[in-house]
Amino acid sequence: MSDPNPQDSGTGIDPQPGLEPDAPRTTHPHPARLPVHEIPILRRAPEVELVDVMDGDGRREVLVHDHGLMALVDVMPRLAPVGQTADFAIVQAARVSYGVGTKKVSHDRGLIRYLARHRHTTPFEMVEFKFHCVMPIFVARQWIRHRTANVNEYSARYSVVPERFYRPSEGNVRLQSTTNRQGGDERVTNATASEFLDYLAAIETQYARYSELLEQGLTREQARIGLPQSVYTEWYWKCDLHNIMHFLSLRMDSHAQDEIRDYAYAMFALIQPIVPMAAEAFLDYRLGGEVLTRLEIESLRTGEPLATTNKREASEWEAKRQRMGLADES
């Protein structure tokens, strides 16, 4: 990451004088010497009129698959100056680094794009989103690997697991890829799709035994062990925008499993209207961008094949060349 230079006219940041220092206080407040309820708190009115970035909505939901849900339940900042979006909090934080900065919205966009291009990430951490998510356990297992979120999950020790199972639609039963061990894009035959869906349906019938064993007094924490990965769980998931963009860059990507991609796209759809400038920069520089290795740049520069004997690396380079319109799609 290169250091952002606030004096650089290409950033869209106007160099500004630093914050005006206020006069030194004649007496020094020592909050630690007071009982907490006597510590003076100065209340300030907002400098400008504020609006709810969720337009007063209680929550916003995107339905996913047969029982799944992505619901946006809260945002920080929840209030933004009239005429602005939660993007303002990114710019506000960046201005602490750069001085007061520029007030124009077009300059805000330039600043956000500059920050995104140069991976100056901490201003993006000033925006947070809280979601209520309902997804099958096999999706939750992939999702939970993203360690920078705050998560609180439904307890199957404490509560009975509801009878909700994920079954893909018949058109989305996929053939194992021969090139990518972790995925598949093409459809299986109708016969295999029906057999797979029958297999899932048969497993779901075991829910009746789960219920019966609970009725016989078995602990919930043990009864749940027999439930399949297709059973739905749910959680509250709170994460800052920087780490959400990292999550989305991995899980909206074509290499991610189809099922979690649907949740990632739902998440992106929910945050996009709240932080449209950051979302645009994410699409332009992150999701829609491409990272080139030193060997790849060398190959581009010299016109020679990639200097590697590694087949996978060579095929990844070929895929990048195709994306960039430098090679025919095979």
Q: Which is nearer to ligand FAD, 170 or 253 (CB)?
A: 253
Q: What one-letter code names the amino acid at 156?
A: A
Tell the smallest beta-carbon distance from residue 106 to ligand FAD (Å). 32
Distance, in Å, from the CA atom of 94 to the CA atom of 25, rounded to the nearest integer, reads 28
Tokens found for residue 284: 């332009």
- In the set 95, 113, 224, 251, the catalytic residue is 251
Q: Which is nearer to ligand FAD, 161 or 267 (CB)?
A: 267
Q: Which is nearer to ligand FAD, 149 or 193 (CB)?
A: 149
Q: What one-letter code names the amino acid at 71?
A: A
**Contact residues: ligand FAD, CB under 6 A:** 145-148, 182, 243, 246, 250, 255-256
Q: Which is nearer to ligand FAD, 146 or 187 (CB)?
A: 146
The answer to whether residue 251 is catalytic is yes
Find tokens 């095979």 and name the residue.
330
Residues with Cβ within 8 Å of 135's Cβ and at least 6 positions away in sequence, in order, are 64, 68, 143, 232, 233, 234, 260, 263
Maximum pairwise Cα distance, the chain: 84
Q: Which is nearer to ligand FAD, 140 or 161 (CB)?
A: 140
Distance, in Å, from the CA atom of 142 to the CA atom of 259, rounded to the nearest integer, reads 10
Tell the smallest beta-carbon distance from residue 221 to ligand FAD (Å). 25
Q: Which is nearer to ligand FAD, 261 or 321 (CB)?
A: 261
β-strand partners of 153 = 235
Tell the smallest beta-carbon distance from residue 179 to ligand FAD (Å). 14
Tell the smallest beta-carbon distance from residue 177 to ligand FAD (Å). 13
Tell the smallest beta-carbon distance from residue 320 to ligand FAD (Å). 17
Tell the smallest beta-carbon distance from residue 47 to ligand FAD (Å). 35
Residues known to be catalytic: 251
